[in-house]
Amino acid sequence: MAGLRIGILGSGKGSNCRAILERIRDDSLGAEVGVVIADVENAGILEIAKEFGVPAVYLPPGTFRTKLEPGAEHALVDALRGAGVELVVLAGYMRVLKSPMLDAFPHRIINIHPSLLPKFPGLEAWKQALAAGERVTGCTVHYVDAGIDSGGIIAQREVPILPNDTPPSLHARIQIAERELYPEVIAQFCR
């Protein structure tokens, strides 16, 4: 069943993208994926898109490390619009978006982050939570704004921190929660 048309952006292995595509295949969710776009040419997320028969596009990001060059960001807007995308879903996308994207898709870009925001924004949030001696962490789906992991919170899922947890064991448990939460939030958007 067709529905809200989403575009997924990623830079890495794409386990959240896979979870979303599987849930759409199995339960529809009221969504369809119009395109998957990566800023890394050999990102696993592009292979996953192809596996599911979804257009997979590599868009060169330009020379900056943490944001897109303006021309690249305009090309991203064009690619998403060209695919008819209504909701942009960031799934491990490692660049900060600026006004071309934020203006083109106001309140229509969401991200998933591996902590209970506003605690532990930024990189390797599970390590930050462990180092801070937290008993509970989790994941957050939030709107994307011009800051880093700072937009309005849409939904959260708690994950306990166990006494023997290491960064990899905690990260793995958070990612299981992410792969449940993100498709649920997308389904909510569709409703």
> Which listed residue (61, 92, 100, 183) binds ligand GRF by CB under 6 A?
92
Among 92, 82, 25, CA closest to 55? 82
Nearer to ligand GRF, 165 or 178 (CB): 178
16 and 92 Cβ atoms separated by less than 8 Å:
yes
Each residue of 10-33: b (16+ CB within 10 Å) or e? bbbebbbbbbbbebbeeeebbbbb
Smallest gap from Cβ 115 to ligand GRF, in A, equals 9
Nearer to ligand GRF, 74 or 143 (CB): 143
Q: Which H or E run contains 118?
A: none
| Binding track over 8-27 against ligand GRF, x by CB under 6 A | --x-xxxxxx----------
Q: How many residues bind ligand GRF (CB under 6 A)?
A: 15
Respond yes or no: is residue 113 known to be catalytic: yes
Catalytic residue among 107, 113, 142, 171: 113
Q: Retrieve residue 168's tokens.
A: 């990899």
Q: What is the DSSP string of 77-112?
A: HHHHHHTT-SEEEESS--SB--HHHHHHSTT-EEEE
Nearer to ligand GRF, 70 or 131 (CB): 131
Q: Name residue 86's beta-bridge partners.
A: none
Nearer to ligand GRF, 40 or 74 (CB): 40
Active-site residues, by number, are 113
Interface positions with ligand GRF (CB under 6 A): 10, 12-17, 45, 91-92, 112-114, 175, 178
